[in-house]
């Protein structure tokens, strides 16, 4: 490689090492590979068992024709078996790169073939292809990087040997970065799963289902995203909101599970769950638990200052507390409980509108209403089953066999 290409690779390596989100990383790998080889289009596949998972695609032609958002929507993830019949499958099985000058003129006896279905469907003409394996440090293939149509002076030309060399070097860096990102994602998922499971302990005491936690988390993140908060802030709210009622672990069952109206003394004891939650979560150096503490403490504050435990008002209530307050109440109104059926949508809307500026921040409520379709999708995806509700009502209904599945 020439010195200029080596410098480019160093810059790319630095960029790859700083990205932890897998989808963002794959897109960066592909865009850098395009830039280094003047490729018009490309794709990244990841290996999972005996399948190739199509993860990301980029195309200068389609971006110009449809825009980036529509292009990504059209080329969604799919999977295919790893066989020598396809070009990407051949590279995955043999761990050998392919530099094909013209896919319509393959040598006789070639084990692989080019499938023109995408070209025909989307009016594209694939000519040259450069397809390389992405190998980790142990020599195991974890993915395939596929580049299409190198462009020179507006014309499609074959990929050069130098293109192949620099792309192979990039793929080695990419494989390490992908492996690290996948490990990071696994750790995040395990951490989030732990949060959900621990938070479920408080919900079971209060005759709630674990799906309540998930719905509140997804509602909260949706609101944050639609309000235009930074991606990192949206994710923190998503991870922190499951702990909103963790303080109920410190409330006596006689109060939590009382079927009738609480006395003033009992109601005051119940309100202590916000303080108990904040005490459980305080003094942590983890950013997500700091957000959890704020949410646990403030999600029962009301916009007009009539909430608890501090009687905060308006913007004096932390934003994450205002967001989760709405998500929590909406889920309580819209979900079946062991003591009630879900309220009709019209009644829920009327209750929320009547509470505008009183219980809820008007801006947050407006965002929520504008995204009703997305809210309903979350509700549908995480519905409580009859079995969920039966288990909450009576723990004796839980069979050992169910726990061992």
Active centre residues (catalytic): 248
HEC letters along the chain? CCHHHHHHHHHHHHHHHCCCCHHHHHHHHHHHHHHHHCEEEEEEEEEECCEEEEEEEEEHHHHHHHCHHHHHHHCCCEEEECCCCEHHHHHHHHCCCEEECCCCCCCCCCCCECCCHHHHHHCCCCCCEEEEEEECCCCCEEEEEEEEEEEECCEEECCCHHHHHHHHHHHHHHHHHHHHHHHHHHHHHHHHHHHHHHHHHHHHHCCCCHHHHHHHHHHHHHHHHHCCCCHHHHHHHHHHHHHCCHHHHHCCHHHHCCCCCCCHHHHHHHHHHHHHHHHHHCCCCCHHHHHHHHHHHHCCCCCCCCCCCCCCCHHHCCHHHHHHHHHHHHHHHHCCECCECCCCHHHHHHHHHHCECCCECHHHHHHHHHCHHHHHHHHHHCCCCHHHHHHHHCHHHCCHHHHCC
């Amino acid at each position: 490689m020439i010195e200029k290409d080596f410098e480019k690779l160093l810059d790319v390596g630095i960029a790859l090492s700083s990205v932890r989100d897998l989808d963002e990383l794959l897109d960066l790998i592909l865009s850098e590979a395009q830039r280094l080889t003047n490729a018009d289009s490309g794709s990244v596949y990841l290996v999972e068992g005996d399948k190739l998972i199509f993860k990301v695609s980029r195309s200068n032609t389609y971006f110009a024709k449809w825009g980036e958002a529509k292009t990504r929507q059209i080329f969604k993830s799919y999977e295919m078996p790893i066989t020598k019949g396809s070009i990407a499958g051949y590279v995955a099985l043999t761990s050998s790169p392919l530099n094909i000058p013209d896919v319509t003129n393959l040598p006789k006896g070639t084990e692989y073939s080019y499938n023109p279905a995408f070209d025909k469907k989307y009016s594209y003409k694939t000519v040259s292809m450069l397809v390389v394996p992405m190998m980790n440090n142990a020599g195991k293939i974890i993915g395939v990087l596929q580049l299409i149509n190198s462009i020179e002076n507006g014309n499609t030309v074959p990929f050069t040997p130098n293109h192949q060399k620099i792309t192979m070097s990039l793929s080695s860096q990419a494989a390490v970065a992908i492996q690290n990102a996948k490990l990071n994602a696994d750790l995040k998922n395990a951490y989030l799963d732990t949060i959900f499971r621990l938070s479920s302990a408080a919900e079971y005491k209060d005759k709630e289902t674990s799906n309540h936690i998930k719905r509140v988390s997804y509602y909260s993140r949706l609101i944050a995203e639609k309000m235009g908060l930074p991606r990192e802030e949206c994710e923190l709210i998503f991870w922190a909101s499951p702990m909103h009622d963790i303080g109920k672990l410190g409330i006596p069952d006689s109060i939590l599970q009382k079927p009738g109206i609480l006395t003033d003394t009992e109601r005051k004891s119940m309100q202590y769950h916000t303080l108990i939650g904040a005490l459980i979560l305080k003094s942590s150096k983890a950013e997500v638990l700091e957000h959890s503490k704020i949410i646990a403490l403030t999600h029962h504050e009301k916009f007009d200052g009539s909430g608890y435990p501090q009687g905060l008002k308006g913007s004096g209530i932390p934003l994450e507390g205002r967001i989760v307050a709405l998500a929590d109440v909406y889920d309580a109104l819209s979900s079946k409980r062991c003591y009630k059926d879900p309220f009709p949508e019209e009644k829920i809307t009327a209750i929320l509108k009547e509470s505008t500026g009183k219980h809820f921040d008007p801006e947050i409520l407006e965002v929520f209403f504008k995204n009703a379709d997305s809210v309903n999708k979350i509700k549908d995806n995480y519905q409580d089953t009859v079995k969920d509700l039966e288990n909450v009502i009576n723990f004796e209904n839980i069979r050992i066999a169910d726990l061992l599945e």
